[in-house]
Amino acid sequence: MKNKKDIVITGMGNITPLGNTVPTAWNNLVNGKNGVGLIESFDVSNFSTRIGAEVKDFTLDIVDKKSCRRMDRFVQFAIKATHEALTDSGVSIDDEDKSRFGVIIGAGIGGLRVIEQQHSQLINGGPSRVSPMLIPMLIPDMAAGQVAIAFGLRGPNFATVSACASGAHAIAVACDLLRNGKMEIAIAGGTESCITPLGLAGFCSMKALSERNNEPQKASRPFDANRDGFVMGEGCGIIVMETLEHALRRNSRIYARLLGYGMSCDAYHITAPDPEGTGPSLCMKYALEDAGIKPEQVNYINAHGTSTPLNDKSETLAIKKVFGDYAYKIPISSNKSMIGHLLGAAGAVEIINTILTMNHGIIPPTINYEVPDPDCDLDYVPNSARVSDNLEIAISNSFGFGGHNICLIVQKYKGE
């Protein structure tokens, strides 16, 4: 797109297994703290995997109790994270044209918890016992809908649903709407809360999860030779996005530019990644083209890095295809080593961490990296954070079941 508008990030909010605010979660991330442990929200004694990365001590105190009861946990996460992001951005909603203020929030699954609860009501009490709020509570678009209701935002409003790429896709779609003049400012990101009996059982049956139950803290180990599956997590990441013109007009503090994005599909398998890394390499290539930069300008990669045998190998191969010999000079890390896999929220939380990495000049580590894998031979910033004064441009990868791939590219903002 010629003469496309510059898009910037001016506010951030999140809910993660490492903390329920951006500063808390970031501090724990760079210090290598682990958010994985035995699942406490329900009895897991009969499950092959009994570990997860749960959000702790979460409360939603900015809406009334009645409204809160009508929201599934994934929606509650989105309301709370949006409040933090808006506060962080300093935007005054009353001073904005609310019809030009959009909300795009992705969710990979939606209200699985309420489906389970209400199915039990149906079986035990009959159809009349099913809540009239079942459908409005379970549908994935309700995070975006409830955020708009809570904050009075009347611009474009919908959900992106592309499994583990959902949050990053929401940010890319918001970018296009801002570039095209359909919005001036937007809430964008992803949210998910599916650590439930049915959700856990489904992933266990797929043999997708780590079964390192006796060592929860070592279960998520991206790129390590002994990785045996991912760890389910939950959480939410929300950013405030604006056209640069709009942000400067209101004299906003700007974290970063969203330079571009790329999207592709593996067209290979419903869950397994393409072993040749073709899809991920395409989305990174397209992102570089959209951003108008050369591969050698990238200073950091926030990897999808799920800790599954196939994904980490495929992503490493894809990075080599795109960056060639330069791939060995790029620091790469996976936040999932500490927060688990947040599914539809992963890409949004990870782009927040990518922006913080640039702005603080500190690269979070990939913890639990103990045994090198010959197929994963890049610089994964193992076990300890790394200080760097050369973090100007970074990319964040997100890949989802179904073969959905997306890469976001951000640049540290230095002013006009």
Tally of CB atoms within 10 A around 139: 17
- Please report, for the chain, the start and end positions of each structural domain, with discontinuous segments joined by +: 7-249, 260-412
Type of residue at 148: A
pLDDT of residue 3: 65
Give the separation between CA 234 and CA 111, rounded to whole angstroms: 12
> Are both 7-249 and 260-412 of the same fold?
yes
Q: Rounded CA gap, 250 and 94, in Å?
A: 13
Which positions ≥6 away from 15 have C-beta within 8 Å?
Answer: 55, 58, 77, 80, 81, 191, 235, 236
Mean pLDDT value across the chain: 97
Alpha carbon distances (Å) from 148 to 107, 110, 143, 151, 156: 16, 17, 9, 5, 10
The model's confidence at residue 415, banded by pLDDT at 50, 70 and 90, is: confident
Question: Could you give the residue numbers annotated as active site?
Answer: 164
Q: Which of 15, 163, 130, 19 is nearest to 76 (CA)?
A: 15
Tell me 53's DSSP state. B
Evaluate the CA torsion angle 378, 164, 20, 22 in order and state its sign: positive
The number of residues in the chain equals 416
The contacts of residue 267 (CB under 8 Å, 6+ apart) are: 279, 403
Query: Which structure tokens are listed for 233?
Result: 């997590």
Q: Are 185 and 203 in contact (CB under 8 A)?
A: no
Question: 1 falls in which pLDDT band (50, 70, 90)?
Answer: very low
Element (DSSP H or E) covering residue 260:
strand 256-265
Mean pLDDT of 170-180: 98
The architecture that CATH gives domain 7-249 is 3-Layer(aba) Sandwich (3.40)
CA distance 119 to 57: 27
Per-residue pLDDT of 53-85, as tens digits, reads: 999 999 998 988 888 999 999 999 999 999 999
- What CATH number matches the domain at 260-412, 3.40.1190.10, 3.40.190.120, 1.20.210.10, 3.40.47.10? 3.40.47.10
Residue 62 backbone phi and psi in degrees, to 5? -105, 0
Residue 390 near residue 411 (C-beta atoms within 8 A): no
Q: Tell me the C-alpha distance between 378 and 130, whole Å.
A: 52
Kindly give, in sequence order, each residue whose CB lies less than 8 Å from that of residue 405, ignoring residues fewer than 6 positions away: 165, 263, 264, 265, 266, 279, 280, 282, 283, 397, 398, 399
Work out the average pLDDT over 120-133.
96
Please tell me the predicted confidence (pLDDT) of residue 57: 95
For residue 132, how many other CB atoms are within 10 A of its CB?
8
Q: Taking 50 as the threshold, does the pLDDT of residue 45 lie above it?
A: yes
pLDDT over 80 at 18, yes or no: yes
Percent of the chain with pLDDT over 90: 96
Residues 6+ apart with CB under 8 A from 242: 7, 8, 10, 178, 184, 185, 186, 252
* Helix residue ranges, H only, 211-366: 244-249, 278-291, 309-323, 336-339, 346-360
Mean pLDDT of 351-360: 98
d(CA 403, CA 325): 26
CB 1 within 8 A of CB 68: no
